[in-house]
Amino acid sequence: MKLPDPADAATGFEVSIVYEGEEVFHGKSLPAPAEGPEAAPGGAPTKLALPLLRGRNEVTVRTLTSPARETTFPIFYKTALRDWIESILKALIILVLIQFFVVQTFYIPTASMELTLRPGDYIMVEKVSYLFTSPSRGDVVVFQFPEDPRKDFIKRMVARERDTLEVIRKRLIVNGRELVEPYTVHMDRSEDPLGQPQYRPYRDFFGPMQVPDRSIFVMGDNRDKSHDSRMWGHLPLFRLKGKAFLVYWPFRQFGLIRHEHGPFKDLGKTPP
């Protein structure tokens, strides 16, 4: 876009605006007097307010010289309200993309992961790590529940593909060695709201089984109040949604989530 020469513009100019093929404005700006209350330095032309309409305005500027010189250029105009709305929409789109591809928030409704996560906690889950690496033992993962993919579950991964796993009197045995798990709790004698005991023997004795390829085995930290792989089997890797990394609410619980995998120890004599 080439504007008229400033030397020509000093003699004055006229402006026309065409909107959607129709001229909606035509005006002139003449040189100001060199002296008096309306004087301008060098007799520069007076300012001209342009009544722009929303959208594309074709503006033509023509000097009042002989011969006249002119140029035409577009001006795209939008109101402050529209600019504000567009900014909000862009921010929402970015937020949705982040939620879908990068980080998602979740609410913890049950006690299956106590004491690591408590009912009422709000957490953040990142979805990038497992695109490039496999989950590790001890990771706290969010996944689609295999029996109803519309539901999301959160558990701790305790065994990976081809691991042999067994639970003996609450002790977790992986590949023939006991896993020390300081993050677990057991509540055998607790009761549900209907007064029925929640103790279930298969939670204390399970297996042995080998985890299939492209699958993992997950369990809740609160072993006696968790509906996990002991009940519904291994978790296919394609069901993983991400790795939990932060509790952000309530504020007193704020902090990074522990991805712990206790040390192995050799099996001693099985207690009676």
Task: State if pTM tops 0.95.
Answer: no
C-alpha–C-alpha distance, residues 235 and 230, integer Å: 11
For residues 166 and 242, membership in a common domain is answered with: yes
For residues 45 and 104, membership in a common domain is answered with: no
For residues 116 and 187, membership in a common domain is answered with: yes
pLDDT on residue 194: 41
Cβ burial 160-174 (10 Å sphere, 16+ → b, else e): beebebbbbeeebbb
For residues 25 and 57, membership in a common domain is answered with: yes
Tally the domains of the chain. Answer: 2
Given 43, 77, 111, the domain boundary residue is 77
- Tell me which residues are annotated as active site: 112, 155
Residue 225 lies in a domain: yes
What tokens were used for 161?
């593909």
What tokens were used for 29?
């700006």
* 85-137 pLDDT per residue, tens: 888 998 888 888 887 789 999 999 999 999 899 999 999 999 999 999 999 99
For residues 41 and 144, membership in a common domain is answered with: no
Q: Average pLDDT of 224-242?
A: 94
For residues 72 and 169, membership in a common domain is answered with: no
**Range(s) of the domain holding residue 150:** 97-265
On whether the CB atoms of residues 268 and 173 are closer than 8 A, the answer is: no
Q: What is the CATH number of the domain that holds 143?
A: 2.10.109.10
For residues 149 and 40, membership in a common domain is answered with: no
